[in-house]
Structure 1
Amino acid sequence: MKKIVFLDRDTLSPETVVRPPAFPHELIVHGRTAPDEVADRIADADIVISNKAPLRRESLAGARKLKLIAVAATGTDIIDLDCAAKQGIRVSNIRDYARHTVPEHTFALMLALRRSLVSYRQSVLQGRWQEVAQVCFFDHPIADLGGSTLGIIGNGTLGQAVGRIAEAFGMRLLIAGRKGTSDIKPGQTPFDEVLRRADVITLHCPLNAETRGIIGTREFALMEKKPILINTGRGGLVDELALEQALEKDQIAAAGFDVTDGEPPATDSPMMRIAARPNVILTPHVAWASREAVQALADQLIENIELFIAGTPRNVVG
């Protein structure tokens, strides 16, 4: 009988079906788990499921029965992977479930900002249409995606999917090479050149030591075309104070973010200070969360656990 502890079920939609694994088990489900509650809740678990509840060294130290951490997401930055490896704990994650939902959300942000949809909606609600007393009004800028240049930073599954949609819109693509290197692969463009040439920049890289703060004060200063910046990746990819300053200096035209560095963001954080700007859209980390995608995630999560118990682990990290 395996004991499975799900630390943060509330991070998945209530309508998502998380079926029980097909082997004898005891399943303990917590809606959410604070960092200081983790150690106690996983102390006698064989398998732990976590989406965002952190599994750090101090919590893992007492989990002597633990054999598998099944991450209910793709990113594994919530886990001390070195510590897990030393204790013989396998880690699995979810892959390729968001290939439609994240690119579609990326373009929803892109289109809304490029065509000032939020600003026009607000103007209509405020009576501006009746005030001008004509068929239309032109208070906010509108620009096409067709013919514009999209810079993609992070060209994995999601970056490539975004690129395919962009080509259907008639956008020119620039795939960024690795920052700080002259070793540019075929089909890539130097990182700094992408920043200079792109009308829209979108981030789809993982968050790690190399990518944290990949967009900061220096990078904003290079953005000659005052692009829209889209981030549906991870909050820590962008220096948020530098983002706020870039908007104040008109170094970028707009920002569409689904993620923040620390979630939820503090009420006095740079992201919350800029959220009410007409050229900013901030959504609460839901780009991944279409009904179809979350169900696919839940199904893959349980399959990962069953395959581990069967001796054929899948999606092993590290």
Structure 2
Amino acid sequence: MADGRPRVLYTDPPWLASGDGADPALATVETEVLGPGVELAFGRREGGRYLLDGPDLAERARGARVLVVYRCKVTPELLDAAGPGLRAVVRQGVGVDNLNAPLLAERGLPGYNVPDYCVDEVSAHTSALALSLERAVVPQHQGLTGGAFDIYAGGVPRRTNRRTLGVVGFGRIGRAVAARLGAFYGRVLVYDPYIGRDLPEGYGAQAVDDLDELLGQAHMVTLHCPLNDETRGMFDAAALSRMRPDAYLVNAARGALVDPEGLGKALEEGRIAGAGLDVFFPENPHDDPRWAPVLAHPRTVVTSHRAFLSEEAEDSSRRRVAEAVAQALAGRPVRVGRVLPDPEGAA
């Protein structure tokens, strides 16, 4: 606040990326909502990527009243750099694993996300990955553009209305997937230990008490659970071995739900039929050689973590985050997307 204005740091906003930083001229939504009375600061980029830690980021965080993170992980060093004037941390997205809620709770800082801005997009993208696998769209495309006209390239598809969809995690997106993608399947099973058994009935689905029960019956398994200590790596070699050999796995939730080595071996050995992935851990799968067999396998469909993306979703996310920032600066509670309670005296 060198000039008296509260400072807000956007650590890694991809929609503002330009060269080695962020172009303030592109921050039209943020400027419109927050106005000239707020100093906007942005992270630095090198080699086409934002610096997500280190002294440069710490210097830019110094004196910030609010931090807005995207892929950047909230760490003690980042909070220490911001200093005692920090009032809140906002995640520009749905997932909260990098928001580091335990650390924020320890520091008495409220954390927020935007939990529902891309339900339409992610459920549509999940359906697209699933149906691409079912109809062998990728091998058909590659074969035809490569000069071969072959209706059997990629194998003979199956009739989906005689098959079972399994939805793991029944939050906002899981419910939308059950309603949308479930229309193509004859039966929809749901596994989520944190909901009542009756809730899936309202979406034309049936709850199961055990993940293994779902894995043993579903021909298409889609993941929609949060990433935490309970779910990290839950789809490892053991879980994948309990899937049907003719089942597909689709993950547009969090990359670390799936173990890359286990998935690669399951694909290579034909223990599952294929996989559709929009998310990886690390974020870029080319940064970890364990993903190479998965990316190269002919029965995979992969995209670059863009299931959430649309012009409308991006605009909504930016606007709602800026509104949350404005409320935090004013000392008012943020009602939607509150990951942690507002600490007493936060204003």
Is the TM-score greater than 0.5? Answer: yes
**Structure 1 range deviating more: 27-36 or 198-207:** 27-36
Partner of 2:338: 316
Distance in 2, matches of 1:256 and 1:48, equals: 33
Q: Which runs of 4+ in 1 moved over 6 A?
A: 12-16
1:34 aligns with 2:56: no
Q: How does 1:139-154 map to 2 (within 5 A)?
A: 139-141=153-155, 142-154=157-169
Distance in 2, matches of 1:74 and 1:12, equals: 19
- By how many angstroms is 1:160 displaced? 0.1
How many pairs align? 309
Partner of 1:157: 172
Distance in 1, matches of 2:216 and 2:338, equals: 38
1:167 aligns with 2:178: no
- Secondary structure of residue in 2 paired with 1:201: strand
Partner of 2:201: none
Does the 8 Å contact 1:16/1:291 carry over to 2? no
Does the 8 Å contact 1:38/1:55 carry over to 2? no
**Structure 1 range deviating more: 220-229 or 93-102:** 220-229
**Structure 1 range deviating more: 277-286 or 57-66:** 57-66
Partner of 1:19: 30
CA deviation digits over 1:94-147, x for unaligned, max 9?
A: 121111100110011111111111101111122212xxxxxx632322223323
Task: Give TM-score scaled by structure 2 length.
Answer: 0.83
Distance in 2, matches of 1:225 and 1:316, equals: 41
Partner of 2:306: 286
- Which of 7, 10, 20 does residue 14 from structure 2 map onto? 10
Look up the equivalent residue of 1:294 and give its one-letter code. Answer: E
Partner of 2:344: none
Partner of 1:133: none
- Secondary structure of residue in 1 paired with 2:122: helix
Distance in 2, matches of 1:204 and 1:126, equals: 35
Distance in 1, matches of 2:6 and 2:294, equals: 47
CA deviation digits over 1:269-292, x for unaligned, max 9?
A: 222332122211121100011222
Does the 8 Å contact 1:67/1:88 carry over to 2? no
Distance in 2, matches of 1:211 and 1:268, equals: 20
Q: How does 1:1-318 map to 2 (within 5 A)?
A: 1-10=5-14, 17-20=28-31, 21-22=33-34, 24-30=37-43, 32-36=50-54, 37-62=56-81, 63-129=83-149, 137-141=151-155, 142-178=157-193, 185-186=197-198, 187-189=206-208, 190-267=210-287, 269-310=289-330, 311-314=332-335, 315-318=337-340
Look up the equivalent residue of 1:8 and give its one-letter code. Answer: D
- By how many angstroms is 1:225 displaced? 4.5
Distance in 2, matches of 1:17 and 1:201, equals: 40
- Secondary structure of residue in 2 paired with 1:218: helix
The percent identity for this pair of structures is 29
Look up the equivalent residue of 1:169 and give its one-letter code. Answer: F
Distance in 2, matches of 1:293 and 1:272, equals: 31
Does the 8 Å contact 1:39/1:59 carry over to 2? yes
Cα RMSD of the aligned pairs, angstroms, is 2.2
Does the 8 Å contact 2:87/2:329 carry over to 1? no
Distance in 1, matches of 2:124 and 2:313, equals: 12
- By how many angstroms is 1:68 displaced? 1.2
- Secondary structure of residue in 1 paired with 2:323: helix
Distance in 2, matches of 1:147 and 1:13, equals: 46
Unaligned runs of 5+ in 2: 19-25, 45-49, 199-205, 341-347
Unaligned runs of 5+ in 1: 130-135
Distance in 2, matches of 1:25 and 1:268, equals: 39
Look up the equivalent residue of 1:33 and give its one-letter code. Answer: L
CA deviation digits over 1:236-281, x for unaligned, max 9?
A: 1011100001011111101000011111124552223321222111
Task: Give TM-score scaled by structure 1 length.
Answer: 0.90
**Structure 1 range deviating more: 202-211 or 72-81:** 72-81
Partner of 1:132: none
1:240–1:289 Cα change, 3 Å: same
- By how many angstroms is 1:231 displaced? 0.2
Does the 8 Å contact 2:34/2:323 carry over to 1? no
- Secondary structure of residue in 1 paired with 2:161: coil
1:95–1:234 Cα change, 3 Å: same
- Structure with higher helix content: 2
CA deviation digits over 1:150-201, x for unaligned, max 9?
A: 000010000000000133224310001439xxx9834411210100000000
Distance in 2, matches of 1:34 and 1:167, equals: 39
